[in-house]
C-alpha cells in the first residue's frame, strides 16, 4: 500500500503546478457535463480557457447549498449514473437532503485521503480502529471505514449507539484508535466509568474526532478522561466527507487541508470578497479530483481562517483553524445538521400550533439534547393533559422522521415565548463549547 504522502511535503511551487493542472481539468469537465456550471460560465462570459492561473479561479461565481437543492437529487453530477457507485446524503434546509455521488475512482480517492488523514492523526497499519461514527447516508462511518482498511489497520465498524456493548468491545478487543464525534467520545468515557472500566486500562493512543464543533477546552477534557491524544478532523459531504482536512498529531494546531485535492479560500460572507491569510471568514472549497460530484467554489458556511505558516510536522499543506461557527444558524446535534427553519416547517405542518417556537440546546451527560418549545392555541392547552402529551409525542416523532434528530417537545401556553423586536431568538444554546 503506497499512499500519496509525498504530496504533503512537496515544495509549494511544485504543489501549485499540480493544483493548477487539476483545476483546469476539473473546469473543463464541469463545463462539458454539468448544465448548472455551463450556464453560470456562459452568463458571466467566462470560458474554461479563461482559467489559466489559480488567481483566475476568483472570476468564477460561488456555488451555494441552494444550488445543490435546486438541482436535487442528481442534477449536479458530472458523470452518467452508470458510473456512480455510491450515494450519500445529508439533511438540507427544506427537509430535502443534499445528495452526493461517487465513482469507483472517487471512492478510492476518498479512502486514500482518509488513510492519509488517519496516518496524520497518528494511526498506522498496526492499529485497531474503533469506529463509532454512524454508518449510513452520513459520510462519517463509511468514510473512516474505507480509509482504515486502505491504511491496512483493523477496523471495528461499531457505529453509533449501544454504548455499553461498545465498552465491552473496547475492553475485550483492545482497539488503539477511537474515531467518533467528540461528544460521543465523552459519553463513552462516562458509560465506561459507570460499568467500572477505566480508560487507563484500555489501549487507546489516539482519538480522531469531528463532525461537530468542539473547543480546545473540550480537547483537554477528552484527553484527560480518555487517556489519549485527541486530534480534530474536518470534512463535509458536499466536498467529499471526512478527510478534507485533519490536524497532524505532532502539532495539533490547525488542520492541514489536502490541497492536492481541494482548493480552500476564505471569503467575506457578506461581500464575497476573498480575504487574505489569517483573516476570519467563510470557508470555500473547489474540488480538483472528484469525478461524480465536483464542486466549484462551494460555500461551506463554516467560519474559520487559513494559516500558511510552515508546520513542525514537515507538511507544506496549508492549515485551517478550528471551525468557530456557521454563517447561518445551523445547529449540529449529535453530528446531525439541524436548521431552525427545518424544525419550523415540521411544526407548521401541525394543526393548532402557533408560529412561536424556540429551540433549546443543551449538553447532558456529554450528549447534546434538543428541546423544542412551541406555543399552542388556548383551546388545546385547556384540553386534557393526555391530549397535549399525545400531541407532543406526535411532533417529536415527525421531527425524528423528517430530520433524523431526537427532540423533546414541550407545548406551552400562548405568549410564553418571548417576542422579539427584531430578529427572533430561535435558538438558546446552553452548550459550553
Ligand atoms: Zn503539521
Ion ligand 1: residues, Cβ under 5 Å: 248, 251, 311, 313, 315
CA 20 / ligand 1 centre spacing (Å) = 23
Please report where in the chains the cell 492549515 appears, as a residue.
Answer: 319
Instruction: Of 319-323, 352-356, 386-390, 421-425, give the range with the top mean pLDDT.
Output: 319-323
Q: Let me know: does 321 contact 304? Beta carbons within 8 Å.
A: yes
CA 253 / ligand 1 centre spacing (Å) = 7
**pLDDT beyond 90 at 377:** no
- Reported confidence tier of residue 211, pLDDT bands at 50, 70, 90: confident
Grid coordinates of 212:
461537530
Pairwise CA distance, residues 83 & 86, whole Å: 9
The residue among 10, 21, 3 whose CA lies nearest residue 263 is 21
CA 237 / ligand 1 centre spacing (Å) = 24
Residue 207 φ/ψ, nearest 5 degrees: -125, 135
The string of pLDDT tens digits covering residues 224-283 is 999 999 999 999 999 999 999 999 999 999 999 999 999 999 999 889 999 999 998 999
The string of pLDDT tens digits covering residues 302-330 is 889 999 999 999 999 999 998 876 666 67
Q: Let me know: does 418 contact 425? Beta carbons within 8 Å.
A: yes
Grid coordinates of 20:
493548477
CA 26 / ligand 1 centre spacing (Å) = 28
Please report where in the chains the cell 471512492 appears, as a residue.
Answer: 107
Pairwise CA distance, residues 4 & 112, whole Å: 8
CA 39 / ligand 1 centre spacing (Å) = 40
CA 245 / ligand 1 centre spacing (Å) = 11
CA 279 / ligand 1 centre spacing (Å) = 20
Pairwise CA distance, residues 161 & 142, whole Å: 16
- Reported confidence tier of residue 422, pLDDT bands at 50, 70, 90: very low
CA 6 / ligand 1 centre spacing (Å) = 14
Q: Which helix (H) or strand (E) holds 89?
A: strand 84-90
CA 107 / ligand 1 centre spacing (Å) = 25
CA 315 / ligand 1 centre spacing (Å) = 6
Pairwise CA distance, residues 377 & 399, whole Å: 20
CA 309 / ligand 1 centre spacing (Å) = 10
Cis geometry, peptide bond prior to residue 189 (ω within 30 degrees of 0): no
CA 266 / ligand 1 centre spacing (Å) = 20
Percent residues over pLDDT 90 in the chain: 68
Pairwise CA distance, residues 253 & 197, whole Å: 31
Pairwise CA distance, residues 123 & 344, whole Å: 42
Burial of 271 (0-12, 13-18, 19+ CB in 10 A): exposed
CA 311 / ligand 1 centre spacing (Å) = 5
CA 85 / ligand 1 centre spacing (Å) = 33
Q: Let me know: does 32 contact 299? Beta carbons within 8 Å.
A: no
CA 316 / ligand 1 centre spacing (Å) = 8
Q: Pairing between strand 177-180 and 128-131?
A: parallel
Q: Which helix (H) or strand (E) holds 192?
A: helix 182-194
- Reported confidence tier of residue 220, pLDDT bands at 50, 70, 90: confident
CA 187 / ligand 1 centre spacing (Å) = 29
CA 89 / ligand 1 centre spacing (Å) = 31
Pairwise CA distance, residues 275 & 14, whole Å: 24
CA 229 / ligand 1 centre spacing (Å) = 15
- Kindly list the structural domains of the chain, giving each domain's residue range(s) and its CATH number in brackets, ordered by start: 69-328 (3.40.50.12780), 336-429 (3.30.300.30)
CA 241 / ligand 1 centre spacing (Å) = 21
The residue among 209, 145, 153 whose CA lies nearest residue 176 is 153
3-state secondary structure of 286: strand
Give me the sign of the Cα torsion angle 257, 261, 266, 269. Answer: negative
Grid coordinates of 47:
470560458
CA 205 / ligand 1 centre spacing (Å) = 18
Q: Let me know: does 391 contact 380? Beta carbons within 8 Å.
A: yes
Grid coordinates of 281:
471568514
Cis geometry, peptide bond prior to residue 95 (ω within 30 degrees of 0): no
pTM exceeds 0.75 for this model: yes
**pLDDT beyond 90 at 48:** yes
CA 252 / ligand 1 centre spacing (Å) = 7
- pLDDT reported for residue 414: 81
CA 256 / ligand 1 centre spacing (Å) = 7
CA 118 / ligand 1 centre spacing (Å) = 13
Amino acid at each position: 500500500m503506497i499512499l500519496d504522502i509525498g504530496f504533503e511535503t512537496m515544495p509549494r511551487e511544485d504543489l501549485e503546478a499540480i493544483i493548477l493542472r487539476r483545476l483546469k481539468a476539473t473546469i473543463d469537465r464541469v463545463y462539458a457535463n454539468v448544465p448548472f456550471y455551463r450556464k453560470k460560465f456562459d452568463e458571466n462570459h467566462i470560458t474554461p480557457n479563461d482559467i489559466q492561473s489559480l488567481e483566475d479561479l476568483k472570476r468564477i461565481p460561488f456555488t451555494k447549498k441552494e444550488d445543490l437543492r435546486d438541482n436535487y437529487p442528481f442534477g449536479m453530477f458530472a458523470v452518467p449514473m452508470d458510473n456512480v457507485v455510491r450515494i450519500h446524503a445529508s439533511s438540507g434546509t427544506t427537509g430535502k437532503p443534499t445528495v452526493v455521488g461517487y465513482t469507483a475512482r472517487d471512492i478510492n480517492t476518498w479512502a486514500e485521503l482518509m488513510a492519509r488523514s488517519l496516518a496524520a492523526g497518528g494511526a498506522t497499519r498496526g492499529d485497531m480502529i474503533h469506529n463509532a461514527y454512524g454508518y449510513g447516508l452520513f459520510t462519517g462511518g463509511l468514510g473512516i471505514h474505507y480509509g482504515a482498511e486502505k491504511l491496512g489497520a483493523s477496523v471495528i465498524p461499531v457505529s453509533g449507539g449501544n454504548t455499553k456493548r461498545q465498552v465491552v468491545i473496547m475492553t475485550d478487543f483492545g482497539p488503539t484508535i477511537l474515531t467518533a464525534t467528540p461528544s460521543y467520545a465523552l459519553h463513552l468515557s462516562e458509560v465506561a466509568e459507570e460499568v467500572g472500566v477505566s480508560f487507563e486500562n484500555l489501549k487507546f493512543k489516539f482519538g480522531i474526532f469531528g463532525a461537530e464543533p468542539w473547543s480546545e477546552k473540550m480537547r483537554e477534557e477528552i484527553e484527560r478522561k480518555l487517556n489519549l491524544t485527541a486530534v480534530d478532523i474536518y470534512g463535509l459531504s458536499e466536498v467529499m466527507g471526512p478527510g478534507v482536512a485533519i490536524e497532524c498529531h505532532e502539532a495539533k494546531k490547525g488542520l492541514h487541508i489536502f490541497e492536492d485535492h481541494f482548493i480552500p479560500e476564505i471569503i467575506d460572507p457578506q461581500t464575497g470578497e476573498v480575504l487574505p491569510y489569517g483573516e476570519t471568514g467563510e470557508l470555500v472549497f473547489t474540488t480538483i479530483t472528484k469525478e461524480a460530484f465536483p464542486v466549484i467554489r462551494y460555500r461551506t458556511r463554516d467560519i474559520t481562517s487559513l494559516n500558511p505558516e510552515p508546520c513542525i510536522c514537515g507538511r507544506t499543506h496549508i492549515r485551517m483553524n478550528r471551525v468557530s461557527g456557521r454563517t447561518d444558524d445551523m445547529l449540529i446535534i449529535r453530528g446531525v445538521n439541524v436548521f431552525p427553519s427545518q424544525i419550523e416547517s415540521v411544526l407548521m405542518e401541525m394543526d393548532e400550533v402557533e408560529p412561536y417556537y424556540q429551540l433549546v440546546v443543551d449538553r447532558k451527560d456529554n450528549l447534546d439534547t434538543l428541546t423544542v418549545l412551541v406555543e399552542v392555541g388556548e383551546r388545546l392547552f385547556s384540553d386534557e393533559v393526555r391530549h397535549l402529551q399525545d400531541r407532543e409525542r406526535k411532533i417529536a416523532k415527525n421531527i425524528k422522521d423528517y430530520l433524523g434528530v431526537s427532540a423533546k417537545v414541550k407545548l406551552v401556553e400562548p405568549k410564553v415565548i418571548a417576542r422579539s423586536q427584531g430578529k427572533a431568538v430561535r435558538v438558546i444554546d446552553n452548550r459550553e463549547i
